[in-house]
Amino acid sequence: MSKTSEQKTCVPKRRFPEFWDAGAWDYPVLEKVYTFKVTNSFSREKLNYEKGTVKNIHYGDIHTKFSTLFDITKEKVPFINPDQEIGNIKQENYCLEGDVIFADASEDMDDIGKSIEIVNLNNEKLLAGLHTLLARQIKPRLVTGFAGYLFKSRNVRIQIQKEAQGAKVLGISAGRLSNIKLPIPHITEEQQKIADCLSSIDDLITAQGKKVEALKDHKKGLMQQLFPAEGQTRPATRFPEFQDAGDWEEKPLGKIAKVLQGSGFPTQYQGNINAEYPFYKVSDISNSIQKGENHIKEAANYIDEAIREKLKAKLIPVGTTIFAKIGEAIRLNRRVMTTEPCLIDNNVAGLKRIKSETIDLFIYYTMLRIDLADHCGGAVPSINKTTLENILIVCPEIPEQERIADCLSSIDDLITAHTKKLDALKDHKKGLMQQLFPSADDMD
């Protein structure tokens, strides 16, 4: 197809061998490929998961749970409540396979205009709902499955983000989406090859994600068995060598662990990657948890010894369980253990074992079971040293602590390994997307 002022051409960095000589991709504006249909504005209160004849896509589900290629048989989709009037909705505004649904509102630039492509409706009725835009091909040009990845490609995402408007809440309209340009192979077999490649990786990512979640569920179940239930002093399950051991002893947390406080470091003292001590903030704890790690190993900032001495900040020793002590992060119950001497922010607290009373890993797993939000006061959740020290826990003798810690830490090692594999698959897909779709630099 020849170029015009409205239609440029482009070539991706990587192509499958059979398409090396297939020529440049087309680069039309979206309005030449898609038209927009009418959507509804049913709120969550008008939807349910039990009964109805028509299902509904809510923009929040596009942001949080629906797959790029939407298969209605694999997704949990709400019905429109039977008492809602839908008789005036035109047949042309019901979703069809191959349609693309965009979320037109977001508080996050990364998610504005996030989309899904419908690849299987299973003969069910589906509507696009609140804060969505429904796009349908004017004439068949893209194979089913290609558009889902096209609208996730970096080139297209950057264009969508540039078209977004708003301050605290971002929005994008059908009119502004119509202005973006879409890199499209003119040979449908190349589209299909790209869609098949990326969807196969998505299948691997989904399967690996299920493994990670299964391991987390297994760990959760074990912890419920290996620790006594609330109000009890004996666990439901004990290792054979401890079957005849006595009850666990109830004691304040302050009797087995010392509460360590963080320090505040002005911004000008942070960031020297060659400094001696990692400086951990609440965000660093969250980053470690998201990687499936229970030991913190990376910091965004470092502090040198001279500054530490100047501000009289105390070092946090190896094996300390650290966590947020103020703010909404408390409700997330995220805890990690330190792997080297470090410093912690004044929004973070630590617990380090008192010698002969317990082991560090047992404190860590005990803390995973404690919801600090239950012990917080004030409009902004916060917990102080005295409150922490007075939280009652139950504790067995050291040998049983070690056995429990060894069991749970082995599962944590598996979770970390499988999470890294999951991240590697996601990175592989990201790299392929950057290669298989043209970037702005590839435009002619």
Domain boundary assignment for the chain: 29-180, 249-395
| pLDDT at residue 327 tops 80 | yes
Same CATH topology for 29-180 and 249-395? yes
What percent of the chain has pLDDT above 90?
Answer: 85
pLDDT (average), residues 2-13: 61
237-241, 370-374, 390-394, 440-444: which has the minimum mean pLDDT?
A: 440-444
Contact residues for 226 (Cβ-Cβ < 8 A; gap 6+): 235, 237, 238, 404, 407, 408
Question: Position of tokens 């969505």?
Answer: 132
Over residues 145-183, the pLDDT tens digits come to: 999 999 999 999 999 999 999 988 999 999 999 999 999
The fold for domain 249-395 equals: Adenine-n6-DNA-methyltransferase TaqI; Chain A, domain 2 (3.90.220)
Name the pTM for this structure.
Answer: 0.86
Q: Encoding tokens for residue 374?
A: 């239950």
Determine the longest span between alpha carbons in the chain, in angstroms: 84
Asked if residue 359 lies in contact with residue 351, where contact means CB atoms within 8 angstroms, the answer is no
E strand or H helix at 335: strand 335-338
Q: How far apart are CA 308 and CA 276, in angstroms?
A: 10
| pLDDT at residue 355 tops 90 | no
Closest CA to 96 of 132, 137, 50, 62: 137
Q: How far apart are CA 22 and CA 244, in angstroms?
A: 75
Contact residues for 300 (Cβ-Cβ < 8 A; gap 6+): 281, 283, 284
CA 181 to chain centre: 29
Over residues 270-325, the pLDDT tens digits come to: 877 788 999 999 999 999 988 888 899 888 899 999 999 998 999 999 999 999 99
209-213, 232-236, 352-356: which has the minimum mean pLDDT?
A: 352-356
The CATH code belonging to domain 29-180 is 3.90.220.20
Contact residues for 78 (Cβ-Cβ < 8 A; gap 6+): 47, 48, 49, 55, 56, 58
pLDDT (average), residues 194-211: 97
| pLDDT at residue 123 tops 50 | yes
Asked if residue 268 lies in contact with residue 403, where contact means CB atoms within 8 angstroms, the answer is no
